[in-house]
């Protein structure tokens, strides 16, 4: 799959380093697969990760209507060496996890592909956005295949082709578009935050948190791309 794509665009990719988006089904043996599939409404947002040869340490933001039972389940996992709760507020908890089964990270290390953070894990699936060479992307695909890890290549394009397409995570895009289409941003408003949360099937606080993150990214992008560039032109 990766090889065919790289061959078809050999000339372009030899000039412009590609940016790729992968959707990877995590192996069932990994703790985060079992925990996230057991709690499909929870979101695990990995803000940083330190991979090793036989272990990995990650800082993860857990968003759930009730994170306490989930924390207990993580702590009970045999492949979790250490769990530290850094802070907790309402429906969000920040934790540091050391795991003895970093098998899903091994292909990244073998291919020499830097792991970009943050990324999210939901219902046993992780979406990664990568910027690397075509050769390393092909090596990564081979490494996934050898380990029997299912993945889907969402796209490959020039790294500078479009910043706006990668501005929001899939989750943030879903919440923002739902709010937009429901009339949340109309003046006067045609929908409340509760209405948006109900349409998405999430709690009001979770909806508010995701929407706030999306709005912050959009505001920063607008300031950098529009306001700053406009001021430089004067």
pLDDT digits (tens, 9 = 90+) for 79-134: 999 999 999 988 899 999 999 877 788 888 889 988 888 899 999 999 888 888 88
Q: CATH no. for residue 184?
A: 1.10.10
Distances (CA, A) of 162 to 18, 95, 116, 157, 218: 12, 33, 17, 9, 14
**Same domain membership, residue 85 and residue 40:** yes
pLDDT in tens, 52-77: 778 889 999 999 989 999 999 999 99
**Same domain membership, residue 177 and residue 93:** no
**Same domain membership, residue 172 and residue 143:** no
Q: What is the pLDDT of residue 161?
A: 45
Last residue of a domain, one of 105, 134, 164: 164
Q: What is the pLDDT of residue 195?
A: 94
**Same domain membership, residue 175 and residue 156:** no
> Residue 23 sits in which domain range?
2-164
Pairing of strands 18-25, 151-158: antiparallel
**Same domain membership, residue 79 and residue 96:** yes
pLDDT in tens, 121-180: 999 999 888 888 888 888 999 999 998 999 998 888 765 544 555 678 888 889 999 999
The string of DSSP codes covering the chain is: -HHHHHHHTHHHHHHS-EEEEEEEE--TTSHHHHHHHH-TT-EEEEEEEEE-SS-EEEEEEEE-S-HHHHHHHHHH-TTEEEEEEEEEETTEEEEEEEES--TTTHHHHHHTPPPPS-EEEETTEEEEEEE--HHHHHHHHHHHHHTT--EEEEEEEETTS-SGGGSS-HHHHHHHHHHHHHTTTSSS-SS-HHHHHHHHTS-HHHHHHHHHHHHHHHHHHHIIIIIIHHHHH-
Query: Is the pLDDT reported for residue 10 higher than 50?
Result: no
**Same domain membership, residue 173 and residue 142:** no
**Same domain membership, residue 183 and residue 154:** no
Q: What is the pLDDT of residue 103?
A: 75
Total domains, the chain: 2
Last residue of a domain, one of 164, 182, 200: 164
Q: What is the pLDDT of residue 203?
A: 92
Compute the distance between CA of residue 63 and CA of residue 96 in angstroms, rounded to an integer: 14
**Same domain membership, residue 145 and residue 32:** yes
Q: Which long-range contacts (CB under 8 A, 24 or more apart) does 6-15 make?
A: 6/134, 6/135, 6/137, 6/138, 6/156, 9/134, 9/156, 10/134, 12/158, 13/133, 13/134, 13/156, 14/134
**Same domain membership, residue 158 and residue 64:** yes
Last residue of a domain, one of 164, 198, 215: 164
Which of residues 10 and 33 earns the better pLDDT score? 33
């Amino acid at each position: 799959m990766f090889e065919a794509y790289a061959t078809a665009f050999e000339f372009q990719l030899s000039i412009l380093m590609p940016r790729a988006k992968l959707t990877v089904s995590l192996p069932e043996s990994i703790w985060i697969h079992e925990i996230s599939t057991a709690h499909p409404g929870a979101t695990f947002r990995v803000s940083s990760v330190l991979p090793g040869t036989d272990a990995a340490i990650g800082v993860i933001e857990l968003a759930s209507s009730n994170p306490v039972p989930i924390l207990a389940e993580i702590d009970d996992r045999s492949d979790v060496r250490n769990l530290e709760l850094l802070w907790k507020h309402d429906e969000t908890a920040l934790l540091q996890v050391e795991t003895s089964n970093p098998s899903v990270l091994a292909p990244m290390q073998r291919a020499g592909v830097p792991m970009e953070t943050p990324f999210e894990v939901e219902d046993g699936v992780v979406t990664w956005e990568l910027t690397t060479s075509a050769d390393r992307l092909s090596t990564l695909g081979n490494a996934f295949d050898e380990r029997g890890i299912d993945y889907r290549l969402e796209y490959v394009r020039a790294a500078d082709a479009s910043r706006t397409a990668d501005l929001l995570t899939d989750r943030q895009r879903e919440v923002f578009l739902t709010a937009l289409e429901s009339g949340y941003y109309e003046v006067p408003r045609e929908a409340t935050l509760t209405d948006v949360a109900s349409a998405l099937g999430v709690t009001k606080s979770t909806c508010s948190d995701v929407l706030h993150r999306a709005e912050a990214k959009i505001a920063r992008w607008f300031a950098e791309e529009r306001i700053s560039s406009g001021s430089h032109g004067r």
